[in-house]
Chain A
Amino acid sequence: MYRRYLRSFAVGAFIALSAASLAAQPVDVSIGYVQWIPDQGPVLSNVTPEPDDGGLRGAELALEDNSTTGRFLGHTYALTSQVTDSEEAAVAAFDSLQQSGIELFVVNVPASTIRTFMARAGAQTLVFNAGAEDDPLRTADCPANLVHTIPSHAMLTDALGQWLNQRRWNKLFLITGPTEADIAWASAFRRSARRFGLDIVEDKPWTFDADLRRTASKELPLFTQADDYDAVVVADVRGDFGEYVPFNTWLPRPVVGTQGMSPVAWHRVVESWGAAQLQNRFRDLAKRQMNGADYAAWAAVRSIGTSVTELGTADPRAIREFLFSDRFQLAAFKGRKLTYRDWNGQLRQPIPLVHPRGLVARAPFEGYLHPNTDMDTLGFDKPESKCRINN
Chain B
Amino acid sequence: MKALLKHTALAALIGLSAPSLASLAYVSNEKDDTISIIDTETREVVETIDVGARPRGILLSKDHTRLYICASDDDTVQVLDLATRTIIDTLPSGEDPEQFALHPNNKHLYISNEDDAIVTVVDVSSKEVLAQIDVGIEPEGMAVSPDGRWAVNTSETTSMLHWINTETFRIEKNIVVGQRPRHVEFSKDSKIAWASAEIGGTVHIIDVDKLEQIHEMTFKVPGVNQDRVQPVGIELTSDGKYAFVALGPSNHVAVVDAKTYEVLDYLLVGARVWQLDLDKDEKHLYTTNGVSGDVSIIDVDDLKVIKSIKVGRYPWGVVIDPTT
Contact = CB atoms under 8 A, between A and B. Distances in A.
B147 interface: no
B129 interface: yes
B133 A10 contact: no
Nearest to B200: A329
A72 B160 contact: yes
Q: Name the residue in B133, B172, B175, B199 with the highest tally of chain A Cβ atoms < 10 Å from its Cβ.
A: B199
Nearest to B290: A272
A16 B94 contact: no
A78 to B, nearest CB: 18
B174 A21 contact: yes
Given A68-B158, A331-B159, A337-B179, A20 B172 contact: yes
A17 interface: yes
A310 B179 CA distance: 11
A19 B173 CA distance: 10
Contacts of A302: 157
Nearest to B134: A17
A2 interface: yes
Given A6-B94, A337-B200, A68 B130 contact: no
Contacts of B136: 68-69, 72
A335 B134 contact: no
A350 to B, nearest CB: 10
Contacts of B129: 6, 9-10, 13
Contact of B174 (A6, A17, A22, A374): A22
A308 B132 CA distance: 28
A374 B156 contact: no
Interface stretch (A29-37, A234-242, A273-281): A273-281
A7 interface: yes
B200 A72 contact: no
Interface residues of B, number: 48
A336 interface: yes
A309 interface: yes
Contacts of B249: 335
A18 B155 CA distance: 14
Given A6-B132, A10-B129, A329-B199, A69 B157 contact: yes
B315 to A, nearest CB: 15
Given A16-B133, A69-B157, A9 B92 contact: yes
B195 interface: no
Contacts of A357: none
Interface string B93-106: 01110000000000
Given A13-B131, A330-B179, A331-B157, A68 B95 contact: no
Contacts of B94: 3, 6
Nearest to A329: B179
Interface stretch (B110-118, B237-245, B263-271, B301-309): B110-118
Size category of the A interface is 35 or more
A73 B96 CA distance: 26
Contacts of A13: 128-132
Nearest to A309: B176
Nearest to B95: A3
Interface string B117-149: 100100000001111111111100000000000
Given A20-B174, A277-B138, A7 B199 contact: no
Interface stretch (B38-46, B163-171, B253-261, B280-288): B163-171
Nearest to A18: B171
A20 B174 CA distance: 8
B252 interface: no
A7 B132 CA distance: 8
A72 B137 CA distance: 11
Contact of A277 (B114, B160, B198): B114
A66 to B, nearest CB: 9
B225 interface: yes
A72 B174 contact: yes
Nearest to A284: B115
Contacts of A73: 174
B92 A6 contact: yes
A15 B201 CA distance: 33
B132 A274 contact: no
Interface in A322-381: 329-331, 335-337, 373-375
A14 interface: yes
B164 to A, nearest CB: 8
Contacts of B157: 65, 68-69, 302, 331
Nearest to B168: A16
Interface in B214-248: 225, 227-228
29 contacts: A3-B116, A6-B94, A6-B95, A10-B132, A13-B130, A14-B169, A16-B169, A16-B170, A18-B170, A20-B171, A20-B172, A22-B173, A22-B176, A65-B137, A65-B158, A68-B136, A68-B137, A69-B136, A277-B115, A306-B179, A309-B159, A329-B199, A329-B200, A331-B179, A336-B227, A337-B199, A337-B201, A337-B227, A374-B225
Given A64-B137, A329-B178, 19 more contacts: A2-B75, A6-B120, A7-B132, A15-B131, A15-B132, A18-B135, A18-B174, A22-B176, A65-B137, A65-B157, A68-B117, A274-B138, A277-B114, A309-B159, A310-B176, A329-B199, A331-B179, A331-B180, A337-B179
Interface of B: 75, 92, 94-96, 114-117, 120, 128-138, 155-160, 162, 168-176, 178-180, 198-201, 225, 227-228, 249
CB-CB nearest 7 A-B residue pairs: A18-B171, A331-B179, A331-B199, A69-B158, A331-B180, A336-B227, A72-B174
